[in-house]
């Protein structure tokens, strides 16, 4: 399953995408101390929505991780990709791990009644788009050619 290291590199991604989400989450915590911004509406509704987002995020992340394990791949984008993963969550989003991390960030903000964390989630994804998604797509297009181009047409980047 796992191929020997041939010296091939993966996508030109230098910063681990999860670190971007952690940084923006911590920024949301810090902003709360500067200016509290609570989730509007009944507390139960925010908590329930937060739990739903967290569960969705965990499902996306675990499904993608399981598929990578099954095909002998490493999820780090700078590692070589021996084959395209096109099943599971990859049938409806090309980036289930990044969508999952975005859902986690939104959900944590809602669950902990810190709207800053949730509002910063699109910024996390925006940064990850340029530091990871664009280089990954370039790498996969070069490596898999027409197969990957057909996948680009068939499946949305995010949702």
Kindly report, residue by residue over 83-99, the tens digit of the pLDDT: 999 999 999 999 999 99
Task: Give the residue extent of every domain in the chain.
Answer: 17-154
CB 151 within 8 A of CB 92: no
pLDDT digits (tens, 9 = 90+) for 12-37: 999 999 999 999 999 999 999 999 99
In whole angstroms, give the CA distance from residue 108 to residue 2.
Answer: 35
pLDDT band (50, 70, 90) for residue 7: low
Selection from 52, 107, 62 nearest residue 88 by Cα: 62
Q: Tell me, which fold does domain 17-154 have in CATH?
A: 1.20.120
Split at pLDDT 50, 70, 90, the class of 8 is: confident
Q: What is the DSSP letter of 4?
A: P
């Amino acid at each position: 399953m796992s191929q020997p290291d041939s010296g091939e590199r993966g996508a030109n991604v230098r910063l681990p995408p999860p670190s971007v989400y952690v940084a923006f989450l911590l920024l949301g915590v810090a902003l709360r101390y500067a200016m509290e911004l609570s989730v509007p509406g009944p507390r139960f509704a925010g908590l329930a929505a937060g739990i739903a987002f967290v569960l969705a995020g965990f499902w996306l992340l675990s499904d993608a991780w399981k598929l990578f394990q099954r095909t002998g791949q490493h999820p780090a984008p700078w590692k070589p990709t021996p084959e395209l993963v096109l099943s599971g969550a990859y049938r409806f989003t090309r980036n289930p791990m990044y969508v999952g991390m975005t859902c986690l960030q939104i959900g944590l903000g809602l669950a902990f009644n810190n709207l800053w964390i949730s509002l910063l989630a699109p910024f996390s994804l925006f940064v990850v788009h340029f530091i990871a998604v664009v280089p990954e797509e370039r790498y996969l297009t070069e490596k898999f050619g027409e197969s990957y181009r057909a996948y680009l047409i068939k499946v949305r980047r995010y949702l």
